Amino acid sequence: MSTVSEAGAAAGATFHGSLPAPVGSPRLRLAQTLAVVRLELSRMLGRRGLAWVIFLVLPPLALAGGFAFMIRFIEAMPLSHAALVYAGIYHGFLLALVLFFGCVAIFTSLVRREMRDRTLHYYFLTPVRRELLLVGKYLAGVIASFVLLGFATVGTWLLVYAPFLSLDPEGLSRFVRGGAGLGHLGAYVGVTLLGCIGYGAVFLATGIFFKNPVVPALSIYGWEAINFLLPASLKQVSIIYYLGGLLPVAVDEGPFALIVAPPSPWLAVPGLLALSAVLLALSALRARRMELAYGED
């Protein structure tokens, strides 16, 4: 049904005249999605959830800072050990805890918090398809989480390698300029981005499908945490398995770990992106049929 009344058309005419493109056009939809992203980012700045994420990124930075301080007292620590130290901090702390719970805090609140605050209807009453609203919210979440967690990734890396500016300046220069240094950093940042995308989609869906997303989030955490103990077939049903396989330095997961071949980057990256797309599509379908009866929620 595309007919609009005279009054509606009259009202719409003045409105449509102000739009950058016709209703339903890709250009208008892009403008609307970007507006959602901007609005969400500005709102996130005032959210307590984001403060929690900032709080979360401090411990790994402190840990790296502590390492940078302690290394002065360790004689002849080779640069290659720093790569192992960073890999341990990243895998055991940043990836397994900070990135996971940072994404829980940011993405579960995108929809669920608005339902709790009784403000989601403001979005639902705008002339935007709910699928696009969700994509806009998700993109805002990815940007916010990546900025914070990417900062933690880079900051921690810089802190770990900073002492070598005085301990082994030549080695550090070779490592960064000619060696694997920047490649490592790029890989870690890339994994952080993929983590934000993957976990973001998971927790956006969690926030939409569950009234209390904390319980499923903790269940997922438990599953991810025991991933190193699982056989290969079950390892594949997780995000940490694919992210871990993309890390530039392998990490010893302990004596009880079931060692399996890491996934190929050609499988891990598209696989994670595809999983995220599927979860996003499911969330969008749910949002499309969602009813807002806050009292009953």
Partner 1 sequence: MRGSEMTARDLSAASAAATAGEAPAVPVAERSRPRAVATSDRSIVFDDVSKFYGEVLGVNGISLVLEPGITGLVGPNGSGKTTLMNLMAGLLRPDRGSVRVMGLTADEPERLFRLVGYSTQYDAFPRGMTGFRFVYGYLRVHGLGRAEAERRAWEAIERVNLVDAARRKVAGYSKGMRQRIKLAQAISHRPAVLVLDEPLNGLDPMARAEMLELFRHQAEEGLHVLVSSHILHEVDDVSDRVVLIHGGYVVAEGEIAGVREEVEEQAMQILVRCDGPGRLAARLFAEGRVTEASLHADGQGVSVRTRDADGLYLALNRLVVEEGLAVEAVAPGDADVGAVYQYLIGGSQ
Interface with partner 1 (CB under 8 A), residue from 107, 117, 204, 216? 117
235 close to 241: Cβ distance less than 8 angstroms: yes
Tokens of residue 47, six digits: 């959210």
Q: Is 236 in the site for partner 1 (CB under 8 A)?
A: no
Binding letters toward partner 1, positions 24-63, x by CB under 8 A: x---x--xx--xx-xx--xx-xxx----------------
Cα→Cα distances 250→159, 208, 246, 261, 268, Å: 20, 35, 9, 11, 16
Q: Which of residues 74-113 bind partner 1 (CB under 8 A)?
A: none
Q: Is 128 in the site for partner 1 (CB under 8 A)?
A: yes
Q: Nearest distance from residue 296's CB to partner 1, in Å?
A: 6
Q: How many CB atoms lie within 10 A of CB 285?
A: 14
Interface with partner 1 (CB under 8 A), residue from 52, 53, 121, 207? 121
Question: In terms of Cα–Cα distance, which of 183, 154, 176, 184 is closest to 84?
Answer: 184
Binding segment toward partner 1, per CB under 8 A, in 103-111, 127-135, 161-169, 178-186: 127-135
Q: Is 261 in the site for partner 1 (CB under 8 A)?
A: no
Q: Nearest distance from residue 239's CB to partner 1, in Å?
A: 30
Binding letters toward partner 1, positions 8-27, x by CB under 8 A: x-xxx-xxx-xxxx-xx---
Kindly report the length of the chain. 297
Q: Nearest distance from residue 4's CB to partner 1, in Å?
A: 6
Give the whole-angstrom CA distance, residue 240 versus residue 228.
9
Interface with partner 1 (CB under 8 A), residue from 41, 129, 249, 281? 129
Q: Is 126 in the site for partner 1 (CB under 8 A)?
A: yes
Distance of CA 184 to the CA centre of its chain: 19
Tokens of residue 27, six digits: 């250009």
Give the whole-angstrom CA distance, residue 205 versus residue 296.
20
Task: Tell me the HSE value of 256 on the side-chain side, using a 13 A CA sphere.
Answer: 5
One-letter amino acid at 99 equals L
Interface with partner 1 (CB under 8 A), residue from 61, 106, 109, 130? 130
DSSP 219: H
Task: State the residues that interact with partner 1 by CB under 8 A.
Answer: 1-8, 10-12, 14-16, 18-21, 23-24, 28, 31-32, 35-36, 38-39, 42-43, 45-47, 114, 117-119, 121-130, 289, 291-294, 296
